[in-house]
Structure formats: structure tokens, C-alpha cells
Amino acid sequence: MTWDEVAASVRILWVTDGRERLRLEREEIFRVEIECLEGRVDFRARLRSSGLEGAIFVTIGETVTITDRLLRH
């Protein structure tokens, strides 16, 4: 996961055994939250642009969960 505050963008790249499993890139990010809890990390990024609003939530622990929403507003 990378966050470019100046460019207001996030990039999530998941690679396992040298194989790309997932790539997500979003721009117009206005809020990023990272929280480390017992045995896991939560990453949340919220975005807003003309006509669209969304969020990416990633939890990394024993398992990985990714939720990606992009909706018209």
C-alpha cells in the first residue's frame, strides 16, 4: 500500500509468490486512516471527486479483507 499525499492518490498492490493478485489505484483521496491493532492493520482511504464518492478498506491479519466502493453522489 502506498499513499501519495501530494498527488492525493493511493495504490494497493498484492503480490504472492511473485504473482500479482490484485492492483487498485485511486485518486482524489481526501482522508487516510491507518490503525494497528493486536495482530492486524486496518487501512482506510476515502475519496471524492465530481459526481463520485468512495472508500477503500483493507484489513491485514491472519486473512486479508478488501472492500472497495465507488458510487455516484
**Could you read off the pLDDT of 33-70 as tens digits, one per residue?**
999 999 999 999 999 999 999 999 999 999 999 999 99
Could you tell me which residues come within 8 angstroms of residue 61 by beta carbon, excluding any fewer than 6 positions away? 39, 40, 41
What is the average pLDDT across 9-30?
Answer: 94
Q: Reduced to 3 states, what is the DSSP secondary structure of residue 29?
A: strand
Judged against a pLDDT cut of 90, whether residue 1 lies above it is answered with no
Judged against a pLDDT cut of 90, whether residue 73 lies above it is answered with no
- Going from N- to C-terminal start, the domains of the chain cover 2-72
**Could you read off the pLDDT of 24-33 as tens digits, one per residue?**
999 999 999 9
pTM of the model: 0.82
